[in-house]
Amino acid sequence: MLVTTKEMFQRSREGGYAIVAPDFWDSNSCRTYVETAEELGVPVILSFAQAHDDMLSVEEAYMLAKYYGEKASVPVAIHLDHGLDVETVKKAVDIGYTSVMIDASAQPYEVNVARTKEVCEYAHAHGVVVEAELGHVGSGDVITSENKEALHDDHSIYTDVEMAKQFVKETGVDSLAVSIGTSHGLYKGTPVIDFDRLHELRAALSVPLVLHGGSGSGDDNLERCATEGISKINVFTDFTVAAINATKGEDYINWYKLIKDANAAIKEKLKFYYGLFHTGK
In the complex, the smallest distance separating the C-beta of residue 49 from Zn ion, rounded to whole angstroms, is 7
Specify the residue, 115 or 212, whose C-beta has the smaller distance to Zn ion: 212
In the complex, the smallest distance separating the C-beta of residue 161 from Zn ion, rounded to whole angstroms, is 21
Q: Pick the stretch among 15-23, 208-216, 249-257, 268-276 that binds Zn ion (CB under 5 A).
A: 208-216
Nearest to 129 by CA among 120, 141, 118, 142: 120
Specify the residue, 136 or 212, whose C-beta has the smaller distance to Zn ion: 212
Size of the site for Zn ion (CB under 5 A): 1
Q: Pick the stretch among 83-91, 195-203, 205-213, 272-280 that binds Zn ion (CB under 5 A).
A: 205-213
In the complex, the smallest distance separating the C-beta of residue 88 from Zn ion, rounded to whole angstroms, is 16
CB distance 230 to 209 below 8 Å: yes
Specify the residue, 154 or 246, whose C-beta has the smaller distance to Zn ion: 154
In the complex, the smallest distance separating the C-beta of residue 177 from Zn ion, rounded to whole angstroms, is 7
- Asked if residue 136 binds Zn ion (CB under 5 A), the reply is no
Q: Pick the stretch among 11-19, 39-47, 69-77, 207-215 that binds Zn ion (CB under 5 A).
A: 207-215
In the complex, the smallest distance separating the C-beta of residue 70 from Zn ion, rounded to whole angstroms, is 26
Q: Pick the stretch among 30-38, 39-47, 212-220, 257-265 that binds Zn ion (CB under 5 A).
A: 212-220
85 is catalytic: no
- Asked if residue 52 binds Zn ion (CB under 5 A), the reply is no
Instruction: State the greatest distance between any 2 C-alpha atoms of the chain, in Å, as a whole number.
Output: 57
- Asked if residue 212 binds Zn ion (CB under 5 A), the reply is yes
Residue of minimal Cβ distance to Zn ion: 212
Catalytic entry in 23, 81, 141, 154: 81
Residues near Zn ion, by CB under 5 A: 212
Residues with a catalytic annotation lie at 81
